[in-house]
Structure 1
Amino acid sequence: MSEASAPGWQGILASDERILWQGQPDRRLRIGVGELRRAAPGLFFVAFSLFWMYNAARSSVPFALFGLIFLVIGLRKLVEPLLLPAYLRSRSWYTLTDRRAIVATDTPVQGRRLISYPIDAATPVEMVDGDPPSILFGPDADAGFRFIPEAEHVLGLLRELQRSNAPRPETTDPETQPE
């Protein structure tokens, strides 16, 4: 059975397309400076709504309960940037073929999504240090295989793929050249 007809790949790969590598990102929760920066407005929202609810409860309990809406919004803004990236990684699969890189996700809200990035000599490819490292490619900073243990191996495969997909210079036969 060819890889293109393997279960789950029907209609996705070309009949002569070969899978070079498949993997999943590391699923660990990662909280860095970027995530904390994105969560900071949520922390402010939560603190302000709690302060407001406490002071409003001293005069009118029903009026204080109105603050629950803002508390929930703040909690979502606080927790989402911290937990959502790890959840999305746990629902992602990566594939490198002899033509392209594929990032597949399956989430309850968005369903199944498949994004394909053609790989050729002009495709920017960058390895980003981390534990484990990430390989970025494509037109934007979000495209890539994030936190993969086999990053060095995959980078080698990508570089080899770029070389094989590079335009070939035209060769000339010196005997047929006009003098």
Structure 2
Amino acid sequence: MKETAATAPARSASPAGWENILSEGERIMWQGRPGPGLTLAPVLPGRMAKAAVGLLLFGYLPVMNLSHGWPPFADLSPGRTILPLIFFAVVLTALHQLAGYALTRTLVRRRTWYTLTDRRAYIATDLPILGKRLKSWPITVASRLDYDGGTPGAVWFAEEKKRSGKSRYTMPIGFEQLDDAGHVYRLMRAIQQRQNA
């Protein structure tokens, strides 16, 4: 028997570029991109601690040299110059780590795309050298959603364990720098409520 429009089974055609990615019946609910603004979020405790030490030393150096007049260290003997140089090295290293982290995250966001379906959250990146990557996380009743309420805002929905040298830390995963973060958060809550019904 030949299929007609009335008898043919319903097919869910994936949008262009999503063929063989979405599951059967999976539907795209929202797509967007992060804003280009410079931000440190999510804040990593290790980097913030290093930056705090650098800033404290940066503030301490002028105080330490008030009795020496200007320019700083002008009347220090060679033997007493080593401590200020060490302080300056620590300050520059701390500030470089913080600024480098912020700049790297900003550059990555400019090559990032977000997609929310009725089942999963997708983050796609297209970075130099690393190329194109697509990661996804299921949105379930057990998913812990965290909306920061800012403008632009962020919605965090997962975590990833990472390692830097000998230290380990947890990196939050989510959609960042969104003008419509509240809308995206409500969509995710609706997904959870439907699953719980």
TM-score, L = length of structure 2? 0.59
Q: Equivalents in 1 of 2:153, 2:18: separation in Å?
A: 27
Give % identity: 36
Query: Are 2:149 and 2:182, in contact at CA under 8 Å, matched by a contact in 1?
Result: no
Cα 1:77–1:109 change in 2 (3 A) is: farther
Q: Equivalents in 2 of 1:123, 1:139: separation in Å?
A: 10
**Are 2:37 and 1:28 equivalent residues in the alignment?**
yes
What amino acid is the match of 1:161?
I
Residue 18 of structure 1 deviates from its aligned partner by 0.5
Greater per-residue strand proportion:
2
Instruction: State the Cα RMSD in Å.
Output: 3.2
Residue 102 of structure 1 deviates from its aligned partner by 0.7
Greater per-residue helix proportion:
1
Indicate which of 95, 101, 105 corresponds to 1:85. 105
Q: Superposed, which structure 2 residues align to 1:13-52 within 5 Å? A: 13-30=22-39, 34=43, 37=48, 40=51
Q: Equivalents in 1 of 2:110, 2:128: separation in Å?
A: 13
Cα 1:100–1:87 change in 2 (3 A) is: same
Superimposed CA distance per residue, residues 89-119 of structure 1 (whole angstroms, 9 cap, x where no aligned partner): 1111111101111111110122111111101
**Residue 144 of structure 1 corresponds to which residue in structure 2?**
174
Indicate which of 111, 115, 119 corresponds to 1:95. 115
Q: Equivalents in 2 of 1:22, 1:106: separation in Å?
A: 16
TM-score, L = length of structure 1? 0.65
Cα 1:8–1:32 change in 2 (3 A) is: closer
Q: Secondary structure at the match of 1:17?
A: coil
Query: Are 1:25 and 1:148, in contact at CA under 8 Å, matched by a contact in 2?
Result: yes
**Residue 161 of structure 1 corresponds to which residue in structure 2?**
191
* Structure 2 gap segments, 5+ residues each: 1-10, 56-88, 161-170
Q: Equivalents in 2 of 1:142, 1:27: separation in Å?
A: 19
Q: Equivalents in 2 of 1:39, 1:94: separation in Å?
A: 31
Q: Secondary structure at the match of 2:106?
A: helix
The aligned length equals 139
Indicate which of 121, 137, 159 corresponds to 1:117. 137
